[in-house]
Structure 1
Amino acid sequence: MFVVNDEKHSLCNNFASIQVPDNAVIIEGNWDSFVKQAYINALSTQIQKHKENIHIFFKRAKVGIILMLLLRDTLQKHHITKVSLYLDNPQIMSLLPFLLSDSYQIFVNDIAYESHNIEYTQQKIFSYNDYQIPSKKSIFVQFLENLGKWCYSFYMSALAFFNFMGMFLHFFALSCLNPSNFRLNSLAYHVYEQGFKALPIGLAVALIVGYAITLQGAYQLNSMGVPIMSVDTTAKLALREMGPFILALVIAGRSASSFTAQLGSMRLTEELSAMQAMNLNLFYFLVIPRILALIIVMPLMVFAADAVALFGGMVAIKTSVNIGFEMYLERFYETVSITHFWIGVIKAPVFGAIIGIVGCFRGLECKGDTQSIGKMTTISVVNAIFWIIMANAIFSFIFTRFNL
């Protein structure tokens, strides 16, 4: 009987010493959910040739639950009573419960495998990738291990990001020297998709935030006896911060996730590998058009967001302290200079570059499975928002330092 103790079982480690019969049915390659029906029919034909006893050799095979269930039904159909399995991959052991049946007995690498205590078997052998973690490990040691893993992961991620930035700047410089490398059709498409199609939600958010912040500021300044100051204070805030910053957060949630999901899906469907096989540069076709589109379109969108935020402020001041639109515009032209508008516009392409770079970098980091796409999409949005906040703080420090 197959007995499991507290240590890792050496069942598959001793595979090299086991003699596989010459008449064994060999299963190798990828047998996932998308395996062709012809292969399944061929496997059934091979099993049909055996009577009562059968030897099956999983040779560097990638199998799933569906194959195990189909294999069980086929063995029962052909009245097999003894199944000898030969495994060179311990991960297949976790799928053996789906192969169990009362119609036959299973031997794994010449050791009997029973259905007794299956849950205990899986828990002891297959937790944490077949490695047992000592239960009495101190909290301090665990903390140091987790800290070391995090530092190593951060170092590798930072190194990959610098490599990505270097390649982007290199190919962008080559494109500037040879403008034919720019994909204008792709650039125009992303300007429309990531810019103008996102404009309604961006303007709506700018209007609501401009109204809400101006309303609170007008009430506070009115209680201090200077309601007219709410015009220039909130107008400067709208031009310098609310317009570009709030819009950048909206675009980060929309475009960064979109870029990551698009490139991750292309990795999953092996489109990126196909492009590389055809000697097509990924940066020319995928990365540069996306980043450049946001750099171009963000200042235009900030101009519209500023206008909407100012209009929301006008409505808030009108309804709260009863300052009319004409008085608002007169005060605005007297106290608010064009410098505040240009400060917001200068921030916009930097925010767009951050969103595009982070979204494309995380998209190319996807490993080619759906779980990785979801994880990287979440990380890209969080990273983009964080670096937008960081860049905005740096801009605020620099402009304040130079009295702008």
Structure 2
Amino acid sequence: MKKIAVFIVALLSLLQVHAQDDLDLAVMLQKTPDSNQIFKSDDYYTWCSSVIKGEDGKYHMLYSRWPHGKRSLSGDSMNYIFDGFSGWLRYSEIAYATADKLESPYHYVKTILKGTGDNDVWDRFTMHNPQIRKFGKYYYLYYISNSFDSSFSLPGKPRDEKWMHWLQYNCTQKVGVLKAASLKDLINGKFEKSAQPIMQADSEHSFEVTTNPSVTQGPDGKFYMMYKSRKPNVGNMTMWMAVCDRPDGVFKTISEVFTKPEMACEDPCLWYDHKRKRFYAAVKYYSNAKVLAPDFGDLVLITSEDGRVWTPAAHSLISLKELQLKGQQQIHLAHLERPFVFTDNNGQPKALFAAASIEEPSKGDVAKPAPAFNTFNVSFLIK
């Protein structure tokens, strides 16, 4: 009888944990957004949105953008590798838009952060992957940037010259943060900017690159960051967890999110759900293994009780790479990524934002891509 009682207690405990993990964003998403929920520009690639509600009751979007077209040499004889869509690695800037409603329509206001090319700073060129958060009385804007390391090389056989030049920019990507007392201050340049990165590869756990930062506060009061990096001799990128006592301090890596290639993901948006008492992250599935979702590039949901050990959520699929606007036919997308989940103060999802394109943007006209080759941010309300 004692063994039976122990078994029942264990089973009830498992059922309780499972019951807490009942978030099903695929069911909750508004599947057919209005055309106003598409945010784009005719002159810029539009990517990487994050949104926060301001003191004024309006909604404020920080996002990445970079101009169409061919690049001038600008002191770099191989600068042509950044033509068109590839320009994100050197020419992305963080721009600002506002809306009266959470889902739309958003209107561009100004660019707030742009690379200066200054040789003496770590964030010399691109400004990318913005994520806006408020912790306590302050606003924090996390972002990535890079410089250039002409000495960077990879061991082994000789590499293509263009690819190596790309890596000499790519493998200097690090994470920084802006801190401001108000959104108005942040937008108007009255902020503290980290003089040094708050996350960079340590060559012990993570290597070469740190990107895709997403930060939330856990129930223990600490601040958790999920980010993407690389491992030696591993084909896929990996995601890591880091922690810090302050939202703008130097984060310390504590665990790897997934270790198996069939679970590879990127582009995390991390939050803590106070109702379900667990962390969640919306991510892009970076595998063809069909474990978390039917196809490479679908949006999926992963979860953790402690912020260290991660598993697929009970309802792991968020969205296929599809889009159907009201009154229009469903279309397959080349990209649906960089998910951002807007939540209320209790960690309950209210909207999903994602970057998208209909056709592969790197194959379109770099001067002025046709609509199907341009990029845009799309918003979905969550019921």
| Interval containing the TM-score (normalised by the shorter chain) | under 0.3
Relative to the length of structure 1, the TM-score reads: 0.22
Relative to the length of structure 2, the TM-score reads: 0.23
Structure having the higher helix fraction is 1
Structure having the higher strand fraction is 2
